Every structure is written in structure tokens, then in C-alpha cells.
Amino acid sequence: MLLQLLFLLPQGSSALALNFPWESIQLAEAETRNYSAIAFGNLAHQFEPKECKVIPGDDDWPSDDEWTTFNKTLGGALLKPKPLASVCYTGPSYDATRCEQLKTGWTNIAIHSNDPTSVMSQWASGDSCVPTSQPNSTCSQGGYPVYVVNATTVRHVQMAVNFARNNNIRLVIKNGGHDFNGKNIGGYALSVWMHHLKGIIYHANYTAPDYSGQAVAIGGGSQALDAYTTMSGYNITLLMPGGSTVGLAGGFFQGGGHSSYTSFYGLAADHVVRINAVTADGRLVTADAETNEDLYWAFRGGGGGTYGIVTSIVVKAFPQTPIATGRITFSTVLAPGSNSTGISLETFWEGMKAYWEFCIPLVNNGGLGYNFIRHTPNPNSNETGLTFTTSITLPNHTIAEYRAFMRPLQEKLNALGIAVPMPPVQRFANIYTRDQPPSLARAQAISSASSAEDGTTNPLKPRALGDVVGNTLIASRFFPRSSFSSATSRTAMNAAIRTFIEAGGYEFHGMNYAPTLAVAGNPRNAVNPAFRSTVMHAQGYDSRSWWDGTRPVESMAIQAEKHRRLQAYMQGWRDITPGSGSYINEGDAQEPDWKGAFFGANYERLRGVKERWDPEGVFWALNTVGSDKWEVRGGSGGGRRGLYTQDGRLCRVEG
């Protein structure tokens, strides 16, 4: 039925190229004539700038009757939800059974994905309402929005944008809640919940101004798990994230979007060929290589939550690309069930240098290294050791070719005294066949997982950091090719990572990939230039900040101090990678040089696009282009000087 409907939609229109039936349900000018609150705007400055967005209690905050009228005009799509964990607190929402379920499953990303306000990074809310066994304690709205538009049509999105803009209300955007820095919530805000604008449609022959071939249209609320069956059903490969609940048309491609095929095909942003979005004036526009070209450039890599609300995208589909994969592990501690001893700490780090030397050949062959260095309990003592685990994935390699490629690394490790056997190798139709069932099953299983990447039984250590809900502190850095190109540079990198792990007590996650312009097909987009020279996207994080939903939550002051400490240790990585950057979707919420780190030389051009399409600052999120014109005041975390929580009032920055 959906394929038949495609012929009814103006796919080739130069004005609008609609992908889904719900995109044709739009707000009409006639509807706004008698209801100015939802009137369209224009891209010139309309209002006398006010210092702050309005909040409940202000004279300008809409009355209950105005919200009721808005809801009726929406057809009942307006929600006023309490925080998810409000069921644990004395009051009309109290539900002891549901509270117990939340306490045991709080880290389960699926629970938060299907809630209109809850998000992955709980700290951004100010931890204002968390599961508790003390029902008489305090639950407040905190950083969660006051109202939510449950969007099921473009009309809903347009009305939300117009109502927020015309009433000077903060506007936020949420799909599944998957964001490390809390860009999807905001105190005293109206939120657009995109979660139900789903759809995946395959096109055998799609034509856009700069592309002709297989493609897939993706709805603005679709998540990675929604795309897996499409790949299997049509024998294609799409560039998908590792986390099954990641929203595809939101921050993923807008920030760049890495996948298991990054060294083979490039980034997700490199292969988006058409975008539909509601802009700050409330109008739906199409952006491609011939229409609204500046938006087309900016959306593809210039950061999410900035230029408009994407309702759908069209992406290239590649032929089914099989992968071969295996895993290598070595450790300073005794392996469970083993009679052998672990290697020495010095040998461990010599082994890491051998791995770093292997990384350039790996990415040059289109491969991915997905690795961790973790602190591991020693079963023979009270001390902890270090364990390195890497999953090596090679597209379009047979098992025999994979083993031949891996042999030099195996031999070098063995020569160092690290007894690593040739790993068992498996070959799959694509990486998602291996990792992701086409359902929420994997996400729902995270909180009760029996094993993790490092072989432990900690259910809070799933395959992807983004599958963990709580208060994880994280920062990232791109290590460029120059860091791997000589023994001297590899030694310096090794020392910086070692200090971070041993002295800092942190854990390490590295992804070895190289989305060069040549690999990506020389796209013209806003992807952070530092991406193009990277060989490792490295993350540092504090596993001790994970929260299981049952123990007391640390105060904002303690969390802010932990964050400052993490930043201090991350400086060692920045010092040895001058001119490089960080991934906006997985970076430090308080990255010191966030403009340079997340956007590089593209920032000024992106700022021009922002000023053209959103001069009033309708769209705001932390560390996005133009976000320095605003600040959250009164947040419990202390803002830029502490922890940038969203439980405050959004105001213009003076000067």
C-alpha cells in the first residue's frame, strides 16, 4: 500500500517532495486567520527581542484556556505529562508496582524511548524526578518540558513551532531520547515529540538532483531498529548506528553519523539526498542540491536541533555488503576459568602500540575497530587490571581474506608475549544481521543482559554507550592519521591514553574508522572537517557515574566536580591532537572550544545559515550553531561553570 501511495505524492516537485502521506497533512493559511497563536512567521525579525523565554507564572505565559484551545486545534495531540518516575512519589501519580518496575529497568533505553519526555542523559534534567524508595521525597518537572505535542502529521509540527514562536516559549525536539548532552529536553518548554512520525519506504529507482539509484525514505520519528527489516527485505545496506534506538533523521545524520561501514562508504550525512523540514517560520520545505541548497548543506553534518525539524529524509541504499568479523582480547588479569596468568602492565601497553600500528591498514581496507580498555577485577587479588577488547569488522572480505589480514597483528602480539589466537571469524549479510534483531528485543534485554563486550556480567555495559540510561559522563576526541603514522606519534598517543585510564581511573572506547572524502564520494556538506582525517574516534567516560535506578543519585555539585575532573584529564588528548576535533553527538557537553571542536572551519558559514533561517532563535540546543546567543539561567548544575543542566530559564546572552 505504501509503495502505491508514492505515486500519489509529488516526488519530483521542485517545491515539495513529500515522502509519506502524513507529510501532506499540513497547516493551511486559512486555519490561522482566526487564530493568530498558530500563524506562520517570516524569516525577518518579527518581534522586539525579549530577554528570556516565558515560563509558567509570567504574565505572558498562555492561560489554561489558551492551552485548551491549542489542544482542540491540534485535535487532542497536546500532552501535559508528569516525569516518568513520578509514579514513585506520593500524589495522584503514585503507583508502587510501576515504581518497582522502573527501579529495576531504569537503564533500559526502550522505557525512555517510548515516553514523551524521558531521555537517556538524566543528569540534563537536573535529576529532578528519579525512581526512589522514599515516596515522600521531592519530584519536580525540572528540565522536562511542561507540554508536549505528540506529532503524527506535519500539521502538528507546524502548529507547535508557530505556537512556541508566537508566544515566546522555549521549543525542544524529542524522538527516542537518545542524546548524550540532553539536547532533547528543556525546562518550561513546549516539546515536539517526533516518535510517531515513522516510516521506511524503499525506492528501487529514486531520482534527486545529485543522485539516481536505490534509496530509502525515512520518517522523522524512525529509529535504527525500524530500518533493519528493510535492509533484509530488499537485500540492501544502509548506514545505520550501532544503538537500536537512535533516531535516524534527527541528530544522527545531522551530526555526521558513523556506522560499521564508515571506512567503506563514509558517513550517513554523506549519503542523504533529500530532506523535508519544518523551519522556524512554521513552513515545510524541501532541501536538496537544487532547492534550498544552503539548508541542504547545513543539515548534512551541521548539527541537529538547529535549522529546522526534519520530517523525513531520503538516503542512498547500497548493495548488500557482507562483513566478516572477529574479536581479540588481552588482559593483565587472569581470565575467568583460565589457568594462565595475565600479562604485565608494560606488556599490555606494548600490545596497545602494536594495535595502534595496525589501525591505518585496517581503515585503509574499509574496516572498523570497535574497542574498549576497561578496568577489570582481578580474581586473585583485591586489585584491578586492564582488559582490551576489539571487534574487527571488514566489509566485503571472505573468512580466508579476513584471517590473512589479521595474521600480522596476531603474530606481532604473540611476539610481545601476548598469547592471542586467531579469533573465530563469522561472516554476515551485513553488520545489522549480527547485532540487531528487527525489534525492540535487544534494547529491552539490555537491563538483564547476561554478558557484555568485556566478558563481564555487568548489565550496565552493553555494546554501545548510548544504550545506557543514567548519568554517564563522556567526552570524545578525533585522533587523526598523523597520530598513527610514526612510532613517535603512536608512543605519544599511547602515553596520553594510558594517563587518562591509569591516573584518571576512566575507561576508554575507541572506534577506528576513516570517512575520507574519497571514500565518501567527495560530498559537499557541513560535516566537521576533522572527521575526514581521523583514524580513531575515541571516547573517555566514567563508568562509576552509571546509575542503576535504585541507589541515591549523586548531587549536582558532586556530578559537576566529576565532570570538571574528566575535562582536566581529557586535556591530554586535546594537547596531542592540535587542530583536530570531537563528534558533536558524542562529545563533552562542556567542550572548552566547542565551536572549533564540533564544527571546525565550517562554523562561520553555518552561523550564516542559522541567521538566515532562524533569526529569532526558535530552535536552541546546547553546543549547536548560534547557541552562544542564549543561556540557561538558574539550572541546578551551575551552567557552563558546573554541569549544563536544562532545568532553568532560557535567556539571551547580554551583549
Q: What is the CATH number of the domain that holds 9?
A: 3.30.465.10
| 307 & 206 share domain | yes
- Please name the residue ranges forming H helices in 10-113: 29-32, 64-74, 96-105, 109-113
| 289 & 335 share domain | no
Residue 423: which CATH number? 3.30.70
Per-residue DSSP letter, 619: B
| 283 & 349 share domain | no
268 located within any domain? yes
Give 644 or 295, the one with higher predicted confidence: 295
Q: What are the phi and psi torsion angles at 311 (to 5°)?
A: -95, -25
213 located within any domain? yes
278 located within any domain? yes
Q: Which of 36-50, 62-76, 80-94, 426-440 has the lowest mean pLDDT?
A: 426-440
Q: Which of 275, 300, 319 represents a domain boundary (last residue)?
A: 319
89 located within any domain? no
Q: What are the phi and psi torsion angles at 201 (to 5°)?
A: -125, 125
Q: 3-state class of 570 per DSSP?
A: helix
| 202 & 308 share domain | yes
The yes-or-no verdict on residue 376 having pLDDT over 80 is yes
Range of the domain at 280: 2-16+198-319
Please tell me the distance from the alpha carbon of residue 190 to that of residue 173, in angstroms, as a whole number. Answer: 9
CB distance 632 to 623 below 8 Å: no
The yes-or-no verdict on residue 655 having pLDDT over 70 is no
384 located within any domain? yes
Pick the most confident of 5-14, 459-468, 615-624: 615-624
The yes-or-no verdict on residue 8 having pLDDT over 90 is no
Please tell me the distance from the alpha carbon of residue 405 to that of residue 413, in angstroms, as a whole number. Answer: 14
pLDDT tens per residue, range 487-545: 999 999 999 999 999 999 999 999 999 999 999 999 999 999 999 999 999 999 987 76
The yes-or-no verdict on residue 268 having pLDDT over 80 is yes
| 262 & 367 share domain | no
Total of domains in the chain: 2
Q: Cell 571506512 identifies what position?
A: 263
- Average pLDDT value for residue range 225-242: 90
| 269 & 352 share domain | no
pLDDT for 15: 72
Please tell me the distance from the alpha carbon of residue 444 to that of residue 440, in angstroms, as a whole number. Answer: 6
- Average pLDDT value for residue range 24-31: 97
Q: Which of 401, 428, 455 represents a domain boundary (last residue)?
A: 428
Cβ partners under 8 Å of residue 469, min gap 6: 106, 107, 108, 109, 111, 112, 120, 122
| 335 & 353 share domain | yes
pLDDT for 509: 97
434 — pLDDT class (breaks 50, 70, 90): low
| 202 & 284 share domain | yes
Per-residue DSSP letter, 184: T
| 205 & 233 share domain | yes
Please tell me the distance from the alpha carbon of residue 94 to that of residue 129, in angstroms, as a whole number. Answer: 13
Q: Which of 407, 428, 449 represents a domain boundary (last residue)?
A: 428
Name the residue among 280, 187, 310, 303 with its Cα closest to residue 616: 280
281 located within any domain? yes
| 399 & 327 share domain | yes
Q: 3-state class of 561 per DSSP?
A: helix
What is the share, in percent, of the chain residues with pLDDT greater than 90? 77
pLDDT for 452: 34
| 345 & 381 share domain | yes
408 located within any domain? yes
The yes-or-no verdict on residue 442 having pLDDT over 70 is no
Q: Which helix (H) or strand (E) holds 475?
A: strand 473-480
pLDDT tens per residue, range 113-167: 999 999 988 889 999 999 999 999 999 999 999 999 999 999 999 999 999 999 9
Q: 3-state class of 565 per DSSP?
A: helix
| 262 & 363 share domain | no
344 located within any domain? yes
